Amino acid sequence: MKKTTRFKQMLQSKQLEFICEAHNGLSAKIVEEAGFRGIWGSGLSISAAMGVRDNNEASWTQVLEVLEFMSDNTSVPILLDGDTGYGNFNNMRRLVSKLEQRGVAAVCIEDKIFPKTNSFIKGESQPLAEIEEFCGKIKAGKDAQSDSDFSIVARTEAFIAGWGLEEALKRANAYYEAGADAILVHSKIAKPDDIINFMGEWGDRCPIVIVPTMYYDTPTTVWRELGISLVIWANHILRSGIRAMQDTAAHLMEHESLLHIEKKLPTVKEIFRLQGMEEYQQWEKAYLPKKRQGGRGILLAASKGNGFGRLTDDKPKAMIEVEGQPIILGSVNALRKSDIRDITIVTGYKPEAFNLGTVKYVQNEGWEQTGEVGSLLAARDKIAGEGELVVGYGDVVARSFVLKNLVESTAPLTVVVDYQAPHHKTRTSIDWARVTPERVEGIKKIDYKLVKVDPQIEPAAAQGEWIGLLACTGEGSKILAKTLDELVAADVNVANWSMPQLLSHMVESGVEVAVQYIHDNWLDIDDIADLSDLYKF
């Protein structure tokens, strides 16, 4: 049902209805969620929320913009407090059509002179509009509406301005005859007498709306017995918000701490809920290109490193700086470039030397005894997950395209193998890899699978060197985690294993590990001589 129709029915129904003030998109949503079947777009509250007075200081189009947010954010009808209609009959015509365009169900106009002042400020001194002029405005509004269910509520300020019952009745009747869908009778006294007297004479000519701000202690049963159609709680959401904001601001100023108030405040998550983030995320799934979830990286950097002399007195080799940049930072940055943002470094020797900001650290307490898998186990919590996982060494630096290609691999597990072990160094231990098919066709796209990684493989029998990088898809990360858990449960002292041992074991157990071939474009920093290679890298 249209909002206009619903509001009209609320006015015309025999039961007493309530609507509640709101002053922006957020408060409108809060009012709707509380269960109100309608919203009062209060002139006082909207102007106050803008930081201006209820004296038409905000232009009518500025009010309209607020109304648009309120209307877009809710499904219940809104009755706008349209003050005097912001001018004469012609302004009223334009107002009505603009409100209809923005999904506002109804407008209330009051018989004062533009620019008005709030009814509770020197009410008696405020002039009332000429009855005929005001009736012309009502007629103009009714003629301007294109939806026959749009409602115009005519508000008389006769009691506010001190004119009394007779004038109130005269005006109400004239407005009703001019076509108003309901009459709002406003009163500023602390008792319900004006309303009771008015209703005694009015009968049921047309629906009556009241605003019991001042006579708030009148029991609701009185309104029912009088046959009031609609009660407006006109400013109470704004007032409660003001108090809450004042309290919080004062507390923060005084205590310089969130400690005593944080738990009492709505969470940031609650803000997101009110903003409708869930709906956004559903559409995001439908319309945004499927983006990989930012994955996880684990860099194993527990060892001190033996070939660096005094350089590793106070830091592990991964933190030795070349041109002001720790070795490991190259890997961290390459991971980040591949959208791997959740990076964990497994530390061991001198963990306090790591100072890389937004990465996480876990310490392998047994780093002096364990093998690389011991370090991997220290980051066990980071292994299984939704996005990709990259496991690498803190002392291996690869160009970012190497990582990017690796992360994009769709195979559950993928390793990078240099098909021609670099000659630039004299290493004691090379992680030789056997790969099938054996014939290495340059870097052609062939489905190469790992057979084994082992420094003991005869160089002539190897198809290349594993460069120390392993990537897993979400599925692959679960396979890796399961393998590790089973090995731990089997009590085979897997913590002492090297990564090549783990990879070879997985392949032997039937897990497929894909191979991406590269040549060069990576460095393994094992000793001081390698640092000069890094300098040139």
Amino acid type, 87: G
Minimum distance from CB of 111 to ligand SPV (Å)?
Answer: 12
User: CA-CA distance, 414 to 408, in Å (whole number)?
Assistant: 10
Give the torsion sign (CA, 490, 491, 495, 496): negative
Contact flag: residue 418 with Mg ion (CB under 5 A) = no
Is residue 43 close enough to count as binding Mg ion by CB under 5 A? yes
Binds 473, which of ligand SPV, Mg ion, none (CB < 5 to 8 A, cut-off by type)?
none
> And the tokens for 60?
């009518």
Residue 211 found at the interface with ligand SPV (CB under 6 A): yes
φ, ψ at 455 (rounded to 5°): -60, -20
- DSSP structure string for 74-108: -SS-EEEE-TT-SSSHHHHHHHHHHHHHTT--EEE
**Which lies closer to ligand SPV via its Cβ, residue 207 or residue 297?**
207
Residue count (the chain):
537
Q: Is 39 in the site for ligand SPV (CB under 6 A)?
A: no
Q: Is 43 in the site for ligand SPV (CB under 6 A)?
A: yes
The span from the CA of 369 to the CA of 381, in Å, is: 21
* Structure-token match 């489905």, residue found: 447
Closest by Cα among 495, 516, 497, 515 to 507: 515
Which of 27, 151, 213, 463 lies at the binding interface for ligand SPV (CB under 6 A)?
A: 213
Q: Which stretch binds Mg ion (CB under 5 A): 76-84, 225-233, 273-281, 329-337?
A: 76-84
Considering the rule CB under 6 A, would residue 230 count as an interface residue with ligand SPV? no
Helix (H, G, I), strand (E, B) or coil at 281: helix
* C-alpha neighbours within 13 Å on the C-beta side of residue 336: 10
b/e map 504-528, b = 16+ CB within 10 Å: bbbbeeebebbbbbbeebbbbbbbe
Q: CB of 282: closest distance to ligand SPV in angstroms?
A: 36
Inter-residue contact 345 to 360 (CB < 8 Å): yes
Q: How far is the CB of 2 from ligand SPV (least distance, A)?
A: 25
Q: Which stretch binds ligand SPV (CB under 6 A): 37-45, 60-68, 264-272, 378-386?
A: 37-45
| Residue span 498-537 as binding mask against ligand SPV, x where in contact by CB under 6 A, dash where not | ----------------------------------------
CB 466 within 8 A of CB 417: yes
Residue 114 C-beta: closest distance to ligand SPV, Å: 14
Closest to ligand SPV by CB, 118 or 331: 118
Cβ atoms of 144 and 96 closer than 8 Å: yes
Any contact of residue 157 with Mg ion (CB under 5 A)?
no
Cβ proximity to ligand SPV, 40 vs 497, nearer residue: 40
| Residue among 234 and 301 whose Cβ is closer to ligand SPV | 234
**204 annotated active-site:** no
Q: What are phi and psi of 399, to 5 degrees?
A: -65, 150
Q: Which residue lies nearer to Mg ion by CB, 81 or 524?
A: 81
Map tokens 């439908």 to a residue.
Answer: 286
Of positions 44, 66, 210, 415, contacts ligand SPV by CB under 6 A? 44
The binder of 414, among ligand SPV, Mg ion, none, by C-beta within 5 to 8 A per type, is none
Per-position DSSP letters for 31-48, written without gaps between them: HHHHT-S-EEE-HHHHHH
Binder of ligand SPV out of 19, 32, 49, 81 (CB under 6 A): 81
Nearer to ligand SPV, 43 or 348 (CB): 43
From the list 179, 170, 151, the residue with the least C-alpha distance to 82 is: 151
The residue count for binding ligand SPV (CB under 6 A) is: 10
- Give 110 or 524: the residue with its C-beta nearer to Mg ion: 110
The 3-state secondary structure of 461-498 reads HCCEEEEEEEEECHHHHHHHHHHHHHHHHCCCCHHHCC
Structure tokens at 22: 């709101």
Q: Counting contacts by CB under 6 A, is residue 119 touching ligand SPV?
A: yes
CB 2 within 8 A of CB 149: yes
Query: Is there binding between residue 234 and ligand SPV (CB under 6 A)?
Result: yes
> How remote is the C-alpha of 181 from its chain's centroid?
42
Q: Which does 211 bind (CB under 5 to 8 A by kind): ligand SPV, Mg ion, none?
A: ligand SPV
Nearer to ligand SPV, 54 or 181 (CB): 54
Cβ partners under 8 Å of residue 31, min gap 6: 20, 21, 22, 39, 74, 237
Tell me: does residue 24 bind ligand SPV (CB under 6 A): no
**145 belongs to the binding site for ligand SPV (CB under 6 A):** no
Catalytic residue among 54, 342, 431, 524: 54
CB of 42 to ligand SPV, least distance (A): 3
How near is the Cβ of 224 to Mg ion at its closest, in Å?
A: 25
Identify the residue among 17, 21, 81, 395 touching Mg ion (CB under 5 A).
81
List interacting residues with ligand SPV (CB under 6 A): 42-44, 81, 118-119, 211, 213, 234-235
Which residues form the catalytic set? 54
